[in-house]
Amino acid sequence: MAGDDPGILANAALALAYFGEDIGAMTALVDRALKLNPSFARGWHVSGALHYWAGLPDVAIEHCEASLRLSLRARVGTTQFIIGCAHFVTRRFDVAKQLIAFPEDPSFPDPYRYLAACYAHTGRLDQAREIVKRLRAITHLVVPSASELRNAGYRALYLSGLCMAAVEPA
């Protein structure tokens, strides 16, 4: 239905991948969008997100940085957040914290979740719990399924940090 519209192709790939469709097929769809328009910043952003979910954090960083180079002012998504997540799963927690600490959209709960997990994995549980308090002001769901993360090890790293942060001290 999308024909050769890069925007529709990229957005469809993102939505379908999030809801569990084959990540390789969705990456191919966004690759098609980028072939149609190599200067499509939103397409590079979506490609970064899909590669992050697929368990390829270095490619995700590269594609998100391309998006930022192409569109310094236009908001194409939460690109800094995706870069921060990619650093998180490669255990570069200090870099991840710097990128995630100031969410591009303060009403989006995921940056708070990743920030809490960063603090928990670096042994700073008091800070992690403070972030969880801020998260609870946005949503009642503190620990999501994270099913979009296809790499089981990365998903476990994220969820274990978040669970440590969500537990109140006795």
Indicate if 6 and 44 belong to the same structural domain: yes
Residue 115 CB contacts under 8 Å (≥ 6 apart), including other chains: 97, 100, 101, 131
Indicate if 121 and 161 belong to the same structural domain: yes
In contact, 93 and 111? CB cutoff 8 Å = no
Residue 145's CB is within 10 A of a number of other CB atoms, namely: 9
Q: Is residue 16 part of a domain?
A: yes
Q: What is the pTM of this model?
A: 0.92
The alpha carbon torsion through 60, 150, 115, 110 (nearest 10 deg) reads 90
**What Rg do the C-alpha atoms of the chain give, in angstroms?**
16
Q: Is residue 99 part of a domain?
A: yes
Residue 75 CB contacts under 8 Å (≥ 6 apart), including other chains: 104
pLDDT in tens, 30-84: 999 999 999 999 999 999 999 999 999 999 999 999 999 998 766 677 899 999 9
Instruction: Provide the number of structural domains found in the chain.
Output: 2
Q: Is residue 48 part of a domain?
A: yes
The predicted model gives 111-139 an average pLDDT of: 96
* Domain carrying residue 127: 92-170
Indicate if 96 and 168 belong to the same structural domain: yes
Residue 25's CB is within 10 A of a number of other CB atoms, namely: 11
pLDDT in tens, 55-66: 999 999 999 999
pLDDT in tens, 87-100: 999 999 999 999 99
Closest to 132 measured CA to CA, from 157, 103, 111? 111
Task: Quote the pLDDT of residue 72.
Answer: 74
Q: Is residue 87 part of a domain?
A: no
The predicted model gives 129-140 an average pLDDT of: 95
Amino acid, single-letter form, for residue 165: A
Q: Is residue 128 part of a domain?
A: yes
Amino acid, single-letter form, for residue 83: I
Q: What is the CATH number of the domain that holds 100?
A: 1.25.40
Indicate if 96 and 154 belong to the same structural domain: yes
Task: Quote the pLDDT of residue 38.
Answer: 96
Closest to 115 measured CA to CA, from 165, 65, 60? 165
Q: Name the token pair of 159.
A: 């969820």
Indicate if 66 and 130 belong to the same structural domain: no
